[in-house]
């Protein structure tokens, strides 16, 4: 690479943290004590599956920007009824009725409490010795703060959708991040486990590093990402990425 | 205080870092090797004195928002000629002429290289154990990143003027910070060495902590800040503040 990399910017959900097991665990912790019995992993997958269709109207300007916490909450209101419509035999206790709003608000915090994949903390620590590090996530600032505190991430800044008031892969999100860092795009590298995100970053002149997360979707076979050779780097973990970047 | 404090948000220039000695030192390091002889501290004070008059047109909407780095550079272009109009005897070497733009760009980075007051790092470290911490400065994000790396500050997020696209004490800056944190204003405390900043925060419902920085302006007597009893806390340092907040 001709120009030296100065900053690494990260996708977060799926790339740094395991949303599937985390959302399932949090949902069980919140709902099981009050009598709900769900297929927790299937529920997590269904909640996440509303992600792309929910962001699309914002990206194309049909809906005004709203923070991901707000959108997650709307997604939850659509998804949860499908899972509590067929209660277990102890439904006699009244669990057919939807949980109260305060319980749903607590459940929505699942996305603030996700665990990092095991390589993330040692990888970030090594990368921090040489590069500026910032999340460029579709998650809002307070989710990023919660995840950082929960996992011990140290960021130089929290960039991403809330700063740009739009959602990846819209160019504005990557451009705003690069402008906030005051760096030429070619000195910034987007790190993500999703090709669409890296393609969006590359279109704005950023370098790209693909990190494989084969377990993100659980046993489901991940969709093909096309030829990964189009990305500047391909890594199996953040530790592998740090090694490839010489730290 | 009835509601528990969850986050502390900080003014930076003057409150956390000593701009006067830092700008003077950086200016000397940049300009002295190429033959300029200035009263470095007087130059730092003159540069800073352009701060309020330069932000005022943005606050009242007469000029569009521009990052502080850009405004600092414009301030510099106005101030420096006053200091190099009367060169020392070695002016024969041509130092009457203004420095080239690239040198001024380097000089403008002075605001990225300021040292923290001695109590700041130990104070922030203690405060971080109990509270979310973020700068809410008029400085742009990249200045905040540089100062954090230079001094070893660890922030949960970088909030402030660039996120709000306006300058303190406009309410929007405090409001945007509190919204990004997703906290009720009364659970956030603004920490600053300047009454106008704390008055702005208080008007938006934040708590306030005044930190005395009697040396900010050098030997010049600081302007009266009025009755400091109107602020929730008054501290002599961040360590004192940490003690008062029970950490």
pLDDT tens-digit map of A207-233: 999 999 999 998 887 778 999 999 999
Number of Cβ within 10 Å of residue A155's Cβ equals 24
Q: pLDDT tens, B4-46?
A: 999 999 999 999 999 999 999 999 999 999 999 999 999 999 9
CA distance A22 to A6: 32
Q: pLDDT tens, B220-236?
A: 877 789 999 999 999 99
CA distance B87 to A173: 48
**Given this model, what pLDDT does residue A98 score?**
75
Closest-CA distance of chain A to residue B230, Å? 30
Q: pLDDT tens, A124-159?
A: 999 999 999 999 999 999 999 999 999 999 999 999
Cβ–Cβ of B156/A162 closer than 8 Å?
Answer: no
Residue A86 scores a pLDDT above 90: no
CA distance A3 to A184: 10
Residues of B in contact with A163 (CB under 8 A): 163
Pairing of strands A188-192, A159-160: unpaired
Q: pLDDT tens, B183-222?
A: 999 999 999 999 999 999 999 999 999 999 999 998 887 7
Residues of B in contact with A158 (CB under 8 A): 156-158
Closest-CA distance of chain B to residue A153, Å? 9
CA distance B229 to B32: 45
**Given this model, what pLDDT does residue B87 score?**
47
**Given this model, what pLDDT does residue A220 score?**
82
CA distance A30 to A43: 13
Question: B154, exposed or middle or buried, with CB in 10 Å at 0-12, 13-18, 19+?
Answer: middle
Residue B128 scores a pLDDT above 70: yes
Taking CA atoms, A23 is separated from A14, A28, A48, A106, in Å, by 12, 8, 9, 12
CA distance B244 to B247: 8
Closest-CA distance of chain B to residue A144, Å? 9
CA distance A234 to B20: 46
Cβ–Cβ of A180/B142 closer than 8 Å?
Answer: yes
**Strand arrangement of the beta sheet that strand B7-10 belongs to:** B159-160, B132-137, B7-10, B188-192, B207-211, B233-235
Work out the average pLDDT over B49-70.
97
Nearest residue of chain B to residue A69 (CA atoms): B182
Residue A173 scores a pLDDT above 60: yes
Question: ipTM score of the complex?
Answer: 0.93
**Given this model, what pLDDT does residue A109 score?**
97
Q: How confident is residue B91, by pLDDT bands cut at 50, 70 and 90?
A: very low
Residue with the bigger pLDDT between B3 and A72: it is: A72
**Given this model, what pLDDT does residue A77 score?**
94
Q: pLDDT tens, A7-28?
A: 999 999 999 999 999 999 999 9
Q: Is A35 left (phi over 0), alpha (psi -120 to 50) or beta?
A: left
Tell me the H-state helices in B85-170: 101-108, 120-128, 141-151, 161-164
Residues of B in contact with A152 (CB under 8 A): none
What's the predicted TM-score (pTM) here? 0.94
Taking CA atoms, B64 is separated from A162, A235, B60, B144, B175, in Å, by 21, 43, 10, 21, 20
Cβ–Cβ of B145/A132 closer than 8 Å?
Answer: yes
Cβ–Cβ of B141/A69 closer than 8 Å?
Answer: no
Residues of B in contact with A154 (CB under 8 A): 154
**Given this model, what pLDDT does residue B94 score?**
47
């Amino acid at each position: 690479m001709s120009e030296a990399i100065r900053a690494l910017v990260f996708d977060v959900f799926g790339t740094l943290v395991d949303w599937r097991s985390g959302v399932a665990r949090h949902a069980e912790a919140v709902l099981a004590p009050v009598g709900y019995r769900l297929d927790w992993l299937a529920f997590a997958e269904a909640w996440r599956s509303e992600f792309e269709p929910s962001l699309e109207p914002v990206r194309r300007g049909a809906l005004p920007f709203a923070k991901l916490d707000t959108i997650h909450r709307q997604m939850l209101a659509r998804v949860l009824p499908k899972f509590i419509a067929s209660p277990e035999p102890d439904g006699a206790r009244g669990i057919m009725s939807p949980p109260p709003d305060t319980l749903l608000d607590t459940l929505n915090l699942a996305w603030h409490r996700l665990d990092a994949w095991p390589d993330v903390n040692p990888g970030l620590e090594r990368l921090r010795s040489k590069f500026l590090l910032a999340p460029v996530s579709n998650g809002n600032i307070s989710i990023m703060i919660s995840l950082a505190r929960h996992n011990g991430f140290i960021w130089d800044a929290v960039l991403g959708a809330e700063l740009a008031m739009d959602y990846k892969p819209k160019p504005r999100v990557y451009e705003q991040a690069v402008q906030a860092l005051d760096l030429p795009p070619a000195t910034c590298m987007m790190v993500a486990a999703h090709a669409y995100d890296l393609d969006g970053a590359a279109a704005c002149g950023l370098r790209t590093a693909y990190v494989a997360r084969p377990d993100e979707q659980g046993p489901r076979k991940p969709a093909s990402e096309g030829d990964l050779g189009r990305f500047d780097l391909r890594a199996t973990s953040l530790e592998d990425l740090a090694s490839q970047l010489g730290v």
